[in-house]
Amino acid sequence: MDLLNTLVDKGLRRELPTRDEALAVLATSDDDLLDVVAAAGKVRRHWFGRRVKLNYLVNLKSGLCPEDCSYCSQRLGSEAGILKYTWLKPDQASDAAAAGVAGGAKRVCLVASGRGPTDRDVDRVSETIKAIKENNEGVEVCACLGLLSDGQAERLREAGADAYNHNLNTSEATYGEITTTHTYADRVDTVNKAHAAGLSACSGLIAGMGETDEDLVDVVFALRELDPDSVPVNFLIPFEGTPLAKEWNLTPQRCLRILAMTRFVCPDVEVRIAGGREVHLRTLQPLALHLANSIFLGDYLTSEGQAGKADLEMIADAGFEVEGTGQVTLPEHRAAGGCGSGGGCGSEGAEGGGVCGSAPAAQPAEVRTDLVAVRRRGAGTDLAPNA
């Protein structure tokens, strides 16, 4: 297919595809899916070999968020039966992080619900970062605390943070339909603050919120322009009790095409499969490793993920290897650019589903509500974490 040959050539040269080329990837048929995966896989292997970076989420403060993001189980007015608790103490967070590191995670992602941190919150998270670094040699730490005020990114960097995550989530044109309590521009500003402070910037998207193919291309092109080190791709998990609870339109094939398009547009960036992979990719998860070079290990913020042991077996069975702490994630030209050793952190922004594109998406054979499980273990509980 001429399109795929062109996209591979551009990916190896770090050249931006045209919008029409990106849209064409999303419009490919299921008959061509393996060809699309193989082409994007060439680009992935050129820049990242067969390494898979493991990341581990620690939810520092769960629920009771004043923002109204439609996809989120922690949103204002959410009726989802999730865990709700206030800030973990530094030693509690460090213990939770240690479980992920023991499971093979190279990066720990510290996430807290809310619009953004107060200065006192930054102090609290700074102490947590220091505790994790002291107890887990070589671990990278990413913070995901919402919108940042002036000077806060610098303080997190001074405390030892390596990265900061703040997702764009969807296109600028449709952002107001998903969230009304802050703006798309607010999110862009926070990513720029992380960049300016010398943190490895991480920003991604959520697929499945009713967006068109054009919206998906818009947000991925906007991410390319922002130039984060890491782009997490979330697939909306439809939590009961949220506005998007009834949206179940993503298919495994659709998810693979979205990951492939993201890889072609962001060829030398850490593309991470984030929330929703178990729900929407299901048995095609191993194929996604040919497109993305990073995943979350174990559970997410408010939902259960695949067993950590199963994640490691999947990686090995697919012929990939877990990236070690001594390996640099990003290609040399990016790692030398002052943005850190690679990758950022993606939160579990994917808490819902539903997608419409320029070409009709195939409907799932059945709605798999049984795959949505609220997290009842790990951080904020007395039960052992899944790692």
Q: Is 109 a catalytic residue?
A: yes
Q: Identify the helix (H) or strand (E) that includes residue 11.
A: helix 2-12
Q: Is 266 a catalytic residue?
A: no
The whole-number pLDDT of residue 338 equals 44
Residue 348 or residue 265, greater confidence: 265
Helix axes 184-196, 213-226, angle to 10 degrees: 30
Cα 291 from Cα 286, distance rounded (Å)? 10
Domains and CATH numbers, the chain: 2-371 (3.20.20.70)
Residue 353 or residue 334, greater confidence: 334
Q: pLDDT tens digits for 155-197? A: 999 999 999 999 999 999 999 999 999 999 999 999 999 999 9
Cα 4 from Cα 26, distance rounded (Å)? 12
Per-residue confidence band for 366, with pLDDT thresholds at 50, 70 and 90 = low
CA dihedral 279, 285, 290, 293 (to 10 degrees): 60
CA 242 to chain CA centroid, Å, is 20
Catalytic residue among 202, 255, 266, 339: 202
Catalytic residue among 65, 144, 255, 345: 65
Catalytic residue among 44, 75, 107, 142: 142
Q: Is 72 a catalytic residue?
A: yes
Q: pLDDT tens digits for 30-65? A: 999 999 999 999 999 999 999 999 999 999 998 888
Catalytic residue among 75, 187, 257, 272: 272
Per-residue confidence band for 376, with pLDDT thresholds at 50, 70 and 90 = confident
Work out the burial of residue 130: count CB atoms within 10 Å of its CB; fewer than 13 is exposed, 13-18 middle, 19 or more buried. middle
Q: Is 339 a catalytic residue?
A: no
| pLDDT-above-90 percentage for the chain | 72
CB 314 within 8 A of CB 383: no
Q: pLDDT tens digits for 1-10? A: 799 999 999 9
Q: Is 144 a catalytic residue?
A: no
Q: pLDDT tens digits for 337-362? A: 543 333 333 333 433 333 223 333 44
Q: Is 69 a catalytic residue?
A: yes
pLDDT at 79 over 60: yes
Instruction: Identify the weakest region by mean pLDDT among 186-190, 217-221, 242-246.
Output: 242-246
Cα 160 from Cα 153, distance rounded (Å)? 11
Catalytic residue among 109, 144, 255, 339: 109
pLDDT at 213 over 70: yes
Q: Identify the helix (H) or strand (E) that includes residue 333.
A: helix 332-335
Per-residue confidence band for 387, with pLDDT thresholds at 50, 70 and 90 = confident
Max avg pLDDT among 269-283, 291-305, 341-355: 269-283
Cα 239 from Cα 321, distance rounded (Å)? 33
Q: Is 202 a catalytic residue?
A: yes
What separation, in Å, do the N-terminal and C-terminal C-alpha atoms of the chain show? 41
Task: Select from 240, 263, 259, 241 the least CA-distant residue to 250.
Answer: 259
The whole-number pLDDT of residue 257 equals 98
Per-residue confidence band for 328, with pLDDT thresholds at 50, 70 and 90 = very high
Mean pLDDT of 238-245: 86
Per-residue confidence band for 327, with pLDDT thresholds at 50, 70 and 90 = very high
